[in-house]
């Protein structure tokens, strides 16, 4: 009976404590360190507290923004430290990714008067002390709410990775290597987000299971990603720009056949030249040469220019003329263009493969 009475008394004490504190001096209860720690215990909350003095030429709104940012920064720093303290080998590692720096950037930003970085689910309360010209700010977030958010966030990001990898696999199988590589480029930054969510969840619950971290899935997708990236890195990506004139008619005869021949030698072709390793320009014009016994003869004069994007210079430039004959001028010109393809490809292969 006595134990029940004590519980009831404690309930009323904690329930009305904030009001009592406010009633004593008109200030929020969270301004008192002991009361704040009692109401927002560290085993349930991450929190940050800040006091900012209002400058002589500063308005209260700007000072309040600075106080909010300072409180959020302290809150995010506590989360960053918690994550750093539970560094473990069971999460995937992303080459070249500084997780500590990323965590800091995700939860903190340079303070400005017009913006602030907020931790997911955080709440911020402020109080302006007119007498002392100080702004107080208190930021806090519930660990259970944070856990729920990052479990959901982890699932969303893994779903995105699965979609990008699956699309890349389909594109690679169809020979569209450039588009497959683009899908992997889209996927790459998401792995950092997955790692981040896993670290946050582990910091929030050191006993969290590998299943909740979706560790097996993330590692499987990452291994698949790395293997595909290695394969696609060996491919050669070419952007082709062509202008072809068949006795006054615009065509794509040489370009299409050159692409087909180079594709058989490991080249892939992109529609965006920013994705290319090489830029290839093909300029073809045809001219009538002669006529004999009902046969027409034409020349295809071709200029080719191959630019190496990595070296940032033209590595091959040449002019090629090939002759073709048939029973009409149009067929003779087309034959001359077709005869141009193999010499062009043979010359290009020597430079592209180096």
pLDDT digits (tens, 9 = 90+) for 43-55: 899 899 999 999 8
Tell me which of 147 and 24 has the higher pLDDT.
Answer: 147
Answer yes or no: is pLDDT of 15 > 70. no
On whether the pTM is more than 0.85, the answer is: no
CB neighbours of residue 250 within 10 Å:
9
pLDDT value, residue 65? 93
Q: For the residues 164-186, what does the mean pLDDT come to?
A: 87
- Which range has the top average pLDDT, 90-104, 227-241, 274-288? 274-288
Q: Which residues contact 201 (CB under 8 A, 6 or more apart)?
A: 147, 150, 151, 154, 208, 212, 213
Average pLDDT (97-105) is 48
| Fold observed for domain 236-352 | Double Stranded RNA Binding Domain (3.30.160)
The two counts, helices (H) then strands (E), for the chain are 9, 9
Domain ranges in the chain?
Answer: 2-97+111-143, 145-233, 236-352
**pLDDT beyond 90 at 242:** yes
Q: Could you confirm whether domain 2-97+111-143 is CATH 3.10.129?
A: yes
Q: pLDDT tens digits, residue range 182-197?
A: 899 999 999 988 988 8
Q: Hey, do 145-233 and 236-352 end up sharing a CATH topology, with the first three levels equal? A: no
Query: For residue 94, is pLDDT > 80?
Result: no
Instruction: Reply yes or no on whether the pLDDT at 99 is more than 70.
Output: no
Q: Which residue has the higher pLDDT, 211 or 24?
A: 211
Under 8 Å between Cβ of 235 and 171: no
Tens-digit pLDDT profile for residues 260-309: 988 888 788 888 887 788 999 999 999 999 988 889 999 999 999 999 88
Percent over 70 (pLDDT), the chain:
82
Q: For the stretch 18-55, what's the b/e string if a residue is b when 16 or more beta carbons lie within 10 angstroms of its beta carbon?
A: eeebeeeeeebbbbbeebbeebbeeeebbbbbbebebe
Q: Above 50 in pLDDT, residue 73?
A: yes
What does the pLDDT read at residue 23? Answer: 43
**pLDDT for 53:** 94
- Per DSSP, the residues of 239-282 read EEEEEEEETTEEE-HHHHHHHHHHHTTTEEE-SSGGG-SEEEEE
Position 12 confidence tier, pLDDT thresholds 50, 70, 90: very low
Q: Place 231 in a pLDDT band, splitting at 50, 70 and 90.
A: confident
102 has pLDDT over 60: no
pLDDT of residue 332 exceeding 50, the answer is: yes
Domain range 145-233, CATH architecture: Up-down Bundle (1.20)
Q: Is the pLDDT of residue 8 over 80?
A: no
CA-wise closest residue to 299 among 247, 351, 249: 247
């Amino acid at each position: 009976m006595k134990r029940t009475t004590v519980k009831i008394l404690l309930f009323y004490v904690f329930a009305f404590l904030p009001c009592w504190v406010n009633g004593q001096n008109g200030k929020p209860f969270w301004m008192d360190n002991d009361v704040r720690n009692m109401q927002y215990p560290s085993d349930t909350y991450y929190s940050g507290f800040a006091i900012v003095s209002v400058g002589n030429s500063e308005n209260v709104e700007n000072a309040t923004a600075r106080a909010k940012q300072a409180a959020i920064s302290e809150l995010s720093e506590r989360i960053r430290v918690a994550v750093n303290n539970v560094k473990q080998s069971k999460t995937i590692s992303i080459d070249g990714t500084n997780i500590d720096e990323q965590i800091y950037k995700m939860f903190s930003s340079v303070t400005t008067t017009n913006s602030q970085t907020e931790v997911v689910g955080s709440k911020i309360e402020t109080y302006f002390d007119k007498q002392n010209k100080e702004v107080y700010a208190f930021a806090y977030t519930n660990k259970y709410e944070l856990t729920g958010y990052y479990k959901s966030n982890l699932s969303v990001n893994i779903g995105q990775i699965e979609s990008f990898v699956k699309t890349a696999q389909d594109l690679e199988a169809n020979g569209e290597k450039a588009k497959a590589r683009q899908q992997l480029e889209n996927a790459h930054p998401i792995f950092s987000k997955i790692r981040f969510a896993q670290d946050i969840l582990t910091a929030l619950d050191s006993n969290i299971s590998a299943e909740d971290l979706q560790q097996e899935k993330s590692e499987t997708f990452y291994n698949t990603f790395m293997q595909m990236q290695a394969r696609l890195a060996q491919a050669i990506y070419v952007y082709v720009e062509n202008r072809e004139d068949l006795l006054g008619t615009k065509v794509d005869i040489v370009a299409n056949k050159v692409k087909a021949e180079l594709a058989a030698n490991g080249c892939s072709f992109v529609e965006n030249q920013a994705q290319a390793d090489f830029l290839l320009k093909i300029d073809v014009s045809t001219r009538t040469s002669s006529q004999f016994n009902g046969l027409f003869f034409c020349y295809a004069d071709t200029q080719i220019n191959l630019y190496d994007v990595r070296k940032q210079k033209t590595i091959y430039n040449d002019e090629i003329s090939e002759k073709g004959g048939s029973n009409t001028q149009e067929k003779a010109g087309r034959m001359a263009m077709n005869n141009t393809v193999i010499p062009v490809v043979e010359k290009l292969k020597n430079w592209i493969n180096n």
